[in-house]
Structure 1
Amino acid sequence: MSGLVVVGVDGSASSLAAVEQAAREARWRGAGLRVVHAFLWPALHVPLGPSLPGPPAGGLRDTVEHLVAEAVARARSAAPEVDVSHVVVTGEPLTVLEGQSRAAELVVVGSRGMGGFVGLLVGSTAVHLAAHGTCPVLVVREPGDDTGPVVLGVDGLATGERAVDFAFAEAAWRGTGLVALHAWTTWSAPLPPPQDAAAPYANPPGALAEEEERLLSEALAGHRERYPGVVPEHRLVHGRTREALIEASRSAQLLVVGARGRGGFAGLLLGSVSQAVLHHAHCPVAVVRNPDGRR
């Protein structure tokens, strides 16, 4: 086993969809799959066995064993060749999965869990894990278009290089196209050097767009050599990043973003664009942080 994919399960339909996706991710990587359930009740000293008036085969522990067994069976059905293990860890889901992420190359979770509040589009565990997990986190929202490309949000920062590599690898494993999307506005684009010293704020028409295209090309440089079968489509959008990515996700099978973008505030681990696509994208979303969590 060359690596490990971890999937968090809680018995919800969302987590079972995450199990199937995690099994495929493990197969593509040649990795093992670990099904993890965070068992909170023992930490709260809640009785785990059957109630006295009830049947002997009841109680919280039996319920957990059943839901984990169902998840393992779902994983083995989706990818029979994958080595599937499971573990039940006492603790709160975010803490448990964050700990599991330290030994994994990918953590997969559903967008909503059994404890989700009505009105929330993505559960708090998914959002916080994307911000704090050590490895990339894949949140399974809507199924996505199996015939569509992998869409990569490119911000041009060096800290986004890991997200670029992740997207190229996913496109190669899935045998699909890659759309590298970079959105910009006049206010977010870095100004190129002025062409006329007498008019320091004037630039030729199209100069900003050309600068953004250069930024996009530089962000992808070097990755095509490692993934020769992936020919990325450059998509430069004049508009707001979050709206452009959410629209592109309608026809995508996966959306990949970095945890932070150019407009982030210092101290925030998850940028506003990442949070927006986690809540509103029309396909699964992978959030890829820098290995050491730096900006």
Structure 2
Amino acid sequence: MSERKIVVGVDGSDPSKCALRWAVKQAALIDATVHAVGAWEFPAFYSWEGGPMPPDDFEEAARKALDDTVEQVQHEDVPTVPIERELTHGHAAQALLDASDGAELLVVGSRGHGSFYGALLGSVSQRCAVHAKCPVVIVRY
């Protein structure tokens, strides 16, 4: 397994699929492993009325989005490279920043599954571009 790592944010959205495809192609060029990272958190207003789903369902939905996206991209016409998966509880930008420590690149889509809460904090791609300690590629969808 390669010691070089490309971290990519995956939330199941079309922009994150484009980011994963780009990361896989780049990983093949530089002999790196792709580290697909998904994150989940309770919606900002979840506690008001208990929300529409049991708490475990938020994590399960994020895991399904991560797994489905990776599997879909692996079955496309892209190079075969190792893809590791990580699902983290917390804000997506912080999960990506933490995972990208020591990475060659951090790759994110230009937008993803946002929310009003996400809009208050700023976009994930913008926060990653400002705070990452490695180069960041924002793949436009």
Query: Into which bin does the TM-score normalised by the smaller protein fall?
Result: 0.7 to 0.9
Give the 3 Å change call, closer, same or farther, for CA 207–165 of structure 1 in structure 2.
Answer: same
**Alignment of structure 1 residues 115-130 onto 2, 5 Å:** none
CA shift digits 1:189-247 (9 cap, x unpaired):
xxxxxxxxxxx9563x6332222111111222332233453121110000011111111
Give the 3 Å change call, closer, same or farther, for CA 235–282 of structure 1 in structure 2.
Answer: same
State the 1:264 CA deviation.
Answer: 5.9
Higher RCO (C-alpha under 8 Å, 6+ residues apart):
2
**Alignment of structure 1 residues 50-129 onto 2, 5 Å:** none
1:261 aligns with 2:117: no
1:184 aligns with 2:37: no
1:223 matched to which residue of 2? Answer: 73
2:13 matched to which residue of 1? Answer: 157
Aligned residues: 129
2:25 matched to which residue of 1? Answer: 169
Report if the CA contact (8 A) 2:15-2:110 is conserved. no
State the 1:157 CA deviation.
Answer: 1.0
1:208 matched to which residue of 2? Answer: 58
Root-mean-square deviation (CA, aligned residues, Å) is 2.5
Instruction: State the TM-score, normalized to the length of structure 1.
Output: 0.40
**Fraction of identical pairs, as percent:** 36
| Unmatched segments (≥5 aa) in structure 1 | 1-145, 189-199, 291-295
Distance 2:107 2:22 in 1: 8
Distance 2:52 2:17 in 1: 31
Report if the CA contact (8 A) 2:4-2:31 is conserved. no
Give the 3 Å change call, closer, same or farther, for CA 186–251 of structure 1 in structure 2.
Answer: same
Distance 2:34 2:73 in 1: 12
Instruction: State the TM-score, normalized to the length of structure 2.
Output: 0.79
Structure with higher helix content = 2
Structure showing greater radius of gyration is: 1
Letter in 2 for 1:150: I
Distance 1:186 1:242 in 2: 15
Report if the CA contact (8 A) 2:41-2:58 is conserved. no
Letter in 1 for 2:125: S
1:277 aligns with 2:128: yes
